[in-house]
Amino acid sequence: MLKPQIKSINLNSITINWSNIYCGKNGVYLIKLQICDNIKEWKTIYYGPKLEFKVDRLAVCTCYNFRIQNEGQKDWIYFKAATQDVGPYTSVIHMTRAVKLGKTSVIRKIAHIKPLLLNIENKENKTPIFQAIEARDLQIIHLLVALGANINKPQLYTNRTPLMFSIYKGELQAAKLLIDKVKAVSFDQRLKAYQVTKWPDHDDLI
């Protein structure tokens, strides 16, 4: 059985092309592309007539399960593709450990050598700033933002930004910090932040 072609891979993206399977001789096809998420459920990441799609916000050095279907057919085509590794010495694992242990000097060193690691997701699909929010470490959040971490980048499966994630986790001091730091807060983020500030138990966020 023919499978889609992997046109390019990157540290956190995979470009998939299915022109070898669904070529428009019989008109325009509507294609559904899905990815298997971390709780083993299929999530649609593309639906439309294109012959190629770039899947981004993926974790580095990780293999993903995909499936694709032509709207006019019942059968799915299953395939796998993996993102690249950054190398054995300065990796996502090192950054994850540094954030977890609160090692500011190590974080600075890694960010200096490979700045892209500030925004690369680990195996749990969390960038360093998401990890710092979970660790309730405001100092590390401050540091990551100062080093250039993207505070508007959403997670792949939940589509939550760091601000949304901090509110979801009840980390209100982190949310307040991010509200102060963010330059372009979307309407949805502002609405969620506003709703949290109106909760009677969270006056400290106002």
The predicted pLDDT at position 6 comes to 95
Q: Which CATH number goes with the domain that contains 99? A: 1.25.40.20
Q: Which residues contact 150 (CB under 8 A, 6 or more apart)?
A: 118, 119, 127, 129
Distance of CA 175 to the CA centre of its chain: 19
Total of domains in the chain: 2
What residue numbers bound the domain in which 103 lies? 92-201
Q: Which CATH number goes with the domain that contains 63? A: 2.60.40.10
Of the three residues 40, 60, 82, the one that is the final residue of a domain is 82
pTM of the prediction?
Answer: 0.60
- On the question of pLDDT at 88 being above 60, the answer is no
Of the three residues 82, 100, 131, the one that is the final residue of a domain is 82
Residue 20 sits in the same domain as residue 45: yes
**Which neighbouring-strand residues pair with 79?**
66
CB atoms within 10 A of CB 103: 16
Which of 88-97, 123-132, 134-143, 185-194 is the least confident region?
Answer: 185-194
Residue 61 sits in the same domain as residue 112: no
CB atoms within 10 A of CB 190: 13
- On the question of pLDDT at 12 being above 90, the answer is no
Residue 136 sits in the same domain as residue 55: no
Per-residue model confidence as pLDDT tens digits over 94-103 = 898 899 989 9
Cα torsion 178, 183, 186, 188 to 10°: value is 20
Q: How confident is the model at residue 33 (pLDDT cuts 50, 70, 90)?
A: very high
Residue 98 sits in the same domain as residue 193: yes
